[in-house]
Amino acid sequence: MTHSGTEAAALAQRVGYPVVVKSAVPGIVHKSEQRLVHPGRDTASAVRDAVRELHKATGGGHPCWCSGPPPGTEIAVGAFQDERFGPL
Protein backbone atom coordinates (compact mmCIF):
# COMPACT_ATOMS: atom_id res chain seq x y z
CA MET A 1 0.00 0.00 0.00
CA THR A 2 1.10 3.52 -0.68
CA HIS A 3 -0.01 6.91 0.56
CA SER A 4 1.32 9.20 -2.15
CA GLY A 5 1.44 9.31 -5.91
CA THR A 6 5.23 9.32 -5.78
CA GLU A 7 5.29 6.12 -3.71
CA ALA A 8 2.75 4.49 -6.04
CA ALA A 9 4.76 5.46 -9.13
CA ALA A 10 7.93 3.98 -7.60
CA LEU A 11 6.06 0.77 -6.80
CA ALA A 12 4.61 0.61 -10.31
CA GLN A 13 8.12 0.93 -11.72
CA ARG A 14 9.21 -2.07 -9.62
CA VAL A 15 6.25 -4.35 -10.45
CA GLY A 16 6.05 -3.30 -14.10
CA TYR A 17 3.44 -1.52 -16.16
CA PRO A 18 0.53 -1.53 -16.68
CA VAL A 19 -0.81 -1.42 -13.13
CA VAL A 20 -4.12 -1.06 -11.36
CA VAL A 21 -4.41 1.70 -8.76
CA LYS A 22 -7.18 1.04 -6.24
CA SER A 23 -8.29 2.86 -3.12
CA ALA A 24 -7.92 0.98 0.17
CA VAL A 25 -10.60 3.06 1.90
CA PRO A 26 -12.33 0.78 4.42
CA GLY A 27 -16.01 -0.01 4.30
CA ILE A 28 -16.57 0.16 0.54
CA VAL A 29 -16.91 -3.34 -0.89
CA HIS A 30 -17.62 -2.55 -4.55
CA LYS A 31 -14.92 0.02 -5.19
CA SER A 32 -15.22 -0.15 -8.98
CA GLU A 33 -18.85 1.03 -8.75
CA GLN A 34 -17.64 4.06 -6.76
CA ARG A 35 -14.90 4.81 -9.36
CA LEU A 36 -12.20 3.92 -6.86
CA VAL A 37 -10.36 1.54 -9.21
CA HIS A 38 -8.15 2.82 -12.03
CA PRO A 39 -6.91 -0.02 -14.28
CA GLY A 40 -4.40 0.15 -17.12
CA ARG A 41 -2.16 2.92 -15.79
CA ASP A 42 0.99 2.62 -17.89
CA THR A 43 3.14 5.59 -16.91
CA ALA A 44 4.36 7.14 -13.67
CA SER A 45 2.36 10.26 -14.46
CA ALA A 46 -0.84 8.23 -14.97
CA VAL A 47 -0.26 6.45 -11.63
CA ARG A 48 0.26 9.75 -9.79
CA ASP A 49 -2.89 11.17 -11.44
CA ALA A 50 -4.90 8.11 -10.37
CA VAL A 51 -3.75 8.46 -6.75
CA ARG A 52 -4.61 12.17 -6.82
CA GLU A 53 -8.11 11.37 -8.17
CA LEU A 54 -8.62 8.67 -5.52
CA HIS A 55 -7.59 11.01 -2.72
CA LYS A 56 -9.94 13.70 -4.05
CA ALA A 57 -12.82 11.18 -4.21
CA THR A 58 -12.23 9.82 -0.69
CA GLY A 59 -11.19 12.96 1.13
CA GLY A 60 -7.54 11.91 1.21
CA GLY A 61 -5.64 10.16 3.95
CA HIS A 62 -6.49 6.67 2.73
CA PRO A 63 -3.81 4.43 1.24
CA CYS A 64 -3.97 2.99 -2.26
CA TRP A 65 -3.06 -0.38 -3.72
CA CYS A 66 -0.88 -0.46 -6.80
CA SER A 67 -0.47 -3.85 -8.44
CA GLY A 68 0.64 -5.29 -11.74
CA PRO A 69 -0.94 -8.12 -13.66
CA PRO A 70 -0.94 -11.52 -12.00
CA PRO A 71 1.29 -14.21 -13.50
CA GLY A 72 -0.33 -16.67 -15.84
CA THR A 73 -2.27 -16.75 -19.06
CA GLU A 74 -5.23 -14.50 -19.72
CA ILE A 75 -8.35 -16.32 -20.89
CA ALA A 76 -11.86 -15.35 -21.93
CA VAL A 77 -14.81 -17.35 -20.66
CA GLY A 78 -18.18 -17.43 -22.35
CA ALA A 79 -21.46 -17.64 -20.44
CA PHE A 80 -25.10 -18.18 -21.22
CA GLN A 81 -28.50 -18.36 -19.54
CA ASP A 82 -29.76 -21.94 -19.16
CA GLU A 83 -33.53 -22.35 -18.69
CA ARG A 84 -33.12 -24.94 -15.97
CA PHE A 85 -29.89 -23.92 -14.20
CA GLY A 86 -29.72 -20.18 -14.73
CA PRO A 87 -26.49 -18.38 -15.63
CA LEU A 88 -23.62 -20.69 -16.63
* Spatial separation of the C-alpha atoms in residues 51 and 63, rounded to whole Å: 9
Is this structure's pTM higher than 0.85?
no
Quote the pLDDT of residue 13. 92
Cis amide prior to 18 (ω within 30 degrees)? yes
Rg (CA), the chain: 16
CATH at 17: 3.30.1490.20
Residues making up the chain, counted from first to last: 88
Helix (H, G, I), strand (E, B) or coil at 62: coil
How many structural domains comprise the chain? Answer: 1
Question: CA torsion, points 70, 75, 79, 84, in degrees to nearest 10?
Answer: -80
* Domain with 65 in it: 5-87
Query: How does pLDDT run along the chain (88 residues), one tens digit per residue?
Result: 778 899 999 999 998 899 999 999 888 888 888 899 999 999 999 999 999 999 999 988 788 888 887 778 878 788 888 888 888 7
Helix (H, G, I), strand (E, B) or coil at 67: strand
Quote the pLDDT of residue 85. 87
